[in-house]
Structure 1
Amino acid sequence: ADYVSRIFGASPTSGSVQLDADTILSPGSVRAARLAAGAVIDAVRAVADGRTGRAFAAVRPPGHHAEPDRAMGFCLFSSVAVAARVGQSLGMARVAVIDFDVHHGNGTQAAFEQDDSLFLGSIHQMPLYPGTGAATETGVGNIVNVPVAPHAAREAWRATFAGGLMPALDDFAPDLILISAGFDAHRRDPLAHQSLEAEDFAWATRAVLEVARRQCGGKVVSSLEGGYDLEGLGRSTVAHLHALGED
């Protein structure tokens, strides 16, 4: 609450305020971040009350770098972490997040790492911003980080995702799965050095859905995170949505 109040208080009426090297507040930033978090929360509510089995929140700014007490990396509020708590308040006791953004979801990890009713599985390039996400960072046994090297082959990324994250997700037995869907591991993205094509994100989405069908009646909510090449972002998002909508 103190952090949220600080962000509200820092919001400028004109010009901009620099919160860190990457994160700037302009007059519309806080409203946009609130709407983004609210959209993910609404998606979770829609799944919880049976209006839909799956949902995607096409939001900006992203959220997964925002820690409980500070903004970071273009992110003000950790939309997925907040939505996970809302899911729990609606009766989905065990909530998992799968994060395939190319950058580690340090904010989600900071929110989850002391609570074994929450799970984070993250695949990300290392070394890369924000410098967290080593495989040794395991929280209370509820955090699984699987770093991949720069310029990793698509096949290597898929093998790491399938072998490193999916068994742990299955073992956690979630009541709801959230996806931090960053598409900046696409080969065209300027902020990292990965080799993925749009189809790889569709494949990863199907892998998550397979676990979701087995564990939680297929309940999945996805939220847009990073992706900074518009063509790669667009193609990857469409592929992700097609997979998310498959029976």
Structure 2
Amino acid sequence: MILISSPRFEEHVTPPGHPESPERAHVLDVVAADFRNGGGTVLEPSPATGEQLARVHSGAHIERIASTAGKPSMIDADTFTSPESYEIALLAAGAAVHAAEHAINTGEPAAALVRPPGHHAERDTAMGFCLFNNIAVAAAHALTLGRQRVAIVDVDVHHGNGTQAMFYDDPRVLYVSSHQFPFYPGTGAAAEAGRGDGVGFTVNIPLDAGATDADYDLVYREIAVPVLAEFAPQLTLISAGFDAHEADPLASMRMTTTGYGQILARLRRAVAGTGGFALVTEGGYDLPALRECLEVMIQVTANDTGSTAAHLVAGASPTPRGERSIRAVRSVQSAFWRGL
């Protein structure tokens, strides 16, 4: 396993008190340094190219973000840039591309530890702290490298509206998202299942506030894993957001670091041998919890295909939230996936 990251991610500066702060980049740096000190490889990213960005973003959007270079700006009430943000956003998207390329070319996993996050950014719009959609840029790049089936699994507490929209009618890209619902950004209902040729290749797993480790484990075991097995991705990308953690200030879930390790281990095991595996960071705004979750993410990805995590939530009973989510998803997706 390798990491792709850079101390330069601290140069994207948001206003004082903003949750997507440069302090998050310091956590990424500490985790990367620990990995390097333990003998791991950490590589600096190169910026994404205009061609790579244009596969998922409009030219007008790319130009709009480029126009912020050298000055601070407010894009919306949540999303800001500083003089260096355009350059740093290019590095974040480039890191995601590098992670995907490494997984494809070597068969070894990779993780891009980046900020700003990306999964809310739409084709024409920056929003939700996101400037470019890092994981979408990586997925689109993988398609140009000959991958015909790419899976994106989004474990962030917020629905990845941008990622969903970019591939909503594309059967080559499976998008699976577990998220608090109803919640920001307002998308991600179970009924949102794709359009045209892409119907069935968007799988939303909405969960009520207060969902626990056992609820998450249940929906991943009963929904995400069977769908991944049937889709048989040639590359699996994880939108690794850790804001469903019970300590996170922006959401209302009851996940723990252990629970995150469990679902990441399940995903790792579900796609073992089917293709590459890469992760790209998204949200996570409690700094100690973010560090813990990144560490367990690396441990599970680098050293495990899921077997040692099977005991993590054994004996814990799901709440009704998990069963409600499964019923809602199956009512839509059972028409498309035999395993449901």
Fold match, TM over 0.5?
A: yes
**In structure 2, which of residues 270, 273, 277 is the aligned counterpart of residue 220 of structure 1?**
277
Structure 1, residues 74-133: CA drift from partner, whole Å, max 9, x if none?
Answer: 001111011001111112111000000000010100111010100100000012110100
Which residue matches 2:307? none
Which residue matches 1:183? 242
Which residue matches 2:135? 80
Which residue matches 1:117? 172
**In structure 2, which of residues 110, 130, 140 is the aligned counterpart of residue 55 of structure 1?**
110
Which residue matches 1:92? 147
Amino acid at match of 2:61: Y
Aligned-partner SS, 2:278: strand
Aligned-partner SS, 2:272: helix
Q: Which moves more between the two structures, 73-82 or 202-211?
A: 202-211
CA distance in structure 1 between the aligned counterparts of 2:77 and 2:220, rounded to whole angstroms: 31
**In structure 2, which of residues 279, 294, 301 is the aligned counterpart of residue 244 of structure 1?**
301
**In structure 2, which of residues 49, 65, 90 is the aligned counterpart of residue 7 of structure 1?**
65
Which residue matches 1:194? 253
CA distance in structure 1 between the aligned counterparts of 2:237 and 2:249, rounded to whole angstroms: 26
Amino acid at match of 1:22: D
**In structure 2, which of residues 202, 210, 221 is the aligned counterpart of residue 151 of structure 1?**
210
Which residue matches 1:132? 187
Which residue matches 1:101? 156
Aligned-partner SS, 1:69: coil
Give the superposition deviation at 1:62. Answer: 0.3
CA distance in structure 1 between the aligned counterparts of 2:172 and 2:254, rounded to whole angstroms: 34
Amino acid at match of 2:181: M
Which residue matches 2:101? 45
Give the superposition deviation at 1:208. Answer: 1.0
Which residue matches 2:201? 142
Larger radius of gyration: 2
Check conservation: 2:214, 2:259, Cα contact below 8 A: no
Q: Which runs of 5+ in 1 are unaligned?
A: none
CA distance in structure 1 between the aligned counterparts of 2:181 and 2:138, rounded to whole angstroms: 27
Give the superposition deviation at 1:215. Answer: 2.4
Which residue matches 1:231? 288
Amino acid at match of 2:287: L
Give the superposition deviation at 1:12. Answer: 4.7
Which residue matches 1:24? 80
Structure 1, residues 9-63: CA drift from partner, whole Å, max 9, x if none?
Answer: 2x0523x21111111121111111110000010111112221x510000000000
Amino acid at match of 1:220: F
User: Residue 203 in 1 paired to residue 262 in 2?
Assistant: yes
Q: Which runs of 5+ in 2 are unaligned?
A: 1-58, 305-340
TM-score, with length taken from structure 1 = 0.95
Aligned-partner SS, 1:59: coil
Amino acid at match of 2:187: T
TM-score, with length taken from structure 2 = 0.69
Amino acid at match of 2:293: S
CA distance in structure 1 between the aligned counterparts of 2:273 and 2:70, rounded to whole angstroms: 49
User: Considering only aligned residues, what root-mean-square deviation do their CA atoms show, in Å?
Assistant: 1.1
CA distance in structure 2 between the aligned counterparts of 1:64 and 1:206, rounded to whole angstroms: 22
Residues matched between the structures, number: 242
CA distance in structure 2 between the aligned counterparts of 1:185 and 1:241, rounded to whole angstroms: 18
User: Residue 34 in 1 paired to residue 93 in 2?
Assistant: no
